[in-house]
Amino acid sequence: MKASLLLTLQAALAAVVLAAPTTPNRHQRRDTKDFDIVTAPSVDVAALLASIDLHADMDDVKSTYNNTQFAGFSGALTQAEADFLAAESDVLSVEPVVEIHALATRGSAPWGLQRISQTAKVSGSASARTFTYTYDDAALGSGVDVYVVDTGIYTAHSEFGGRAKTGWSYYSPSTDGNGHGTHCAGTIAGSTVGVASKANLIAVKVLDSTGSGTSTGLISGLDYVASTHATRKSASNFIASVASMSLGFESRSTAVETAVRNLAAAGVHTVVAAGNSATNACNSSPAALGGTGSSTVLGIGASNINDAVSSFSNTGPCVDVFAPGEAVISASNTGASAYQSLSGTSMATPHVAGLVAYFAVGQTSLRQSPSGMKSFVKSGAVAGVLTRNSAYVSGGNLVLANNGA
């Protein structure tokens, strides 16, 4: 941030704003559109807003962010205001708000837990719940907080046994009106269908009942996760934080990627879906941060019961590992004992988010090290078992996630 906008704001903000020749004219704010502004954490957001004659209580300001890793706001701006803010040195990104969507396709049933707990191929019907999950009973995620950044969670489902709660919601009501988030939560930590069945589940609702949302909602949700993690990590019963994101955009977003990178930098293990377009995962956010896209974020592709990369799964150098993502049975939002089968990289991602929670209990040196955990997950994955799909993009890791049991 320029000195004229940080060092002298407290004493003479009004004079600075009036004197700055590039400050947009507030009387010409007719043509506005919504922008996401992400800044360094040291930036005074109130002062930044004041520099363009806005404050947090105005209708034009949709959200503000303030945590240890990033700050900023989302709101309606003219192009001149957006350009003005983009020129400031501590403003990391200024981008138009974009839509985000859940990454799932409908299908038919749980074999995935057995597949991630053995090296050999699974045999049987994907629609049957007759498979055996092998695990270390002392490593089922107790004390780990998993933030399910999704459509919400039906917390009353019998799979969750009081371990699931609603943490934050961008949309009202905060309950899961879609089922996508509940399904993902079940795979992460359900008592019978989950990988880490003793972990805590926190719903961070950034998608509405149709499974859609915006970059503003996602960044706001990540702001909540970062702030809550910063508070929770000093608690005596805290082990680690994991963020599971089974969602994505059609393209890249610097604002979203900045928020996700900074979340991982804060010590939150971050797991993202590769996407369902049978193309290069590096072309969309936040999937582009997986694999070679960062040293801290895990990018997850999908495979099926036949050990083939799913026909829909994105691939390429931004994928770290593959996990079961077809015909996955998990909790449904339609009743406390209801289940449904879904397919997508959305279903593969919570398998690995659950694995991270599982590993965090036993691997004490990795609890606050997303980069170390990423390397550990990759090193334990099984090579030589998966076959490529017809659209496979080379450069990634053709390996299947495994719990090492």
Strands 269-273 and 297-303: parallel
pTM: 0.82
Residue 103 is predicted with a pLDDT of 58
Residue 6 is predicted with a pLDDT of 32
Cα–Cα distance between 256 and 216 in angstroms, integer? 9
Per-residue pLDDT tens digits for 255-308: 999 999 999 999 999 999 999 999 999 999 999 999 999 999 999 999 999 999
CA dihedral 266, 271, 276, 278 (to 10 degrees): 90
Retrieve residue 263's tokens: 């979340």
Cβ atoms of 260 and 252 within 8 Å: the answer is no
Domains and CATH numbers, the chain: 3-97 (3.30.70.80), 101-400 (3.40.50.200)
Please report which confidence band the pLDDT of residue 245 belongs to, taking 50, 70 and 90 as the band edges. Answer: very high
Instruction: Concatenate the DSSP letters of all residues of 348-378 into one string.
Output: HHHHHHHHHHHHHHH-GGGTT-HHHHHHHHH
Per-residue pLDDT tens digits for 21-43: 345 554 456 789 999 999 999 99
Q: Is 62 helix (H, G, I), strand (E, B) or coil?
A: strand
| Residues carrying an active site annotation | 150, 180, 346
Residue entry with tokens 């797991």? 271
Cα–Cα distance between 151 and 101 in angstroms, integer? 10
Retrieve residue 148's tokens: 């399910």
Strands 240-245 and 144-150: parallel
Retrieve residue 321's tokens: 């590992």
Per-residue pLDDT tens digits for 152-169: 999 999 999 999 999 999
Retrieve residue 275's tokens: 């996407």
Residue entry with tokens 């009106």? 177
3-state DSSP: the chain helix, strand, coil percent, rounded to 5?
30, 25, 45
Cα–Cα distance between 290 and 292 in angstroms, integer? 6
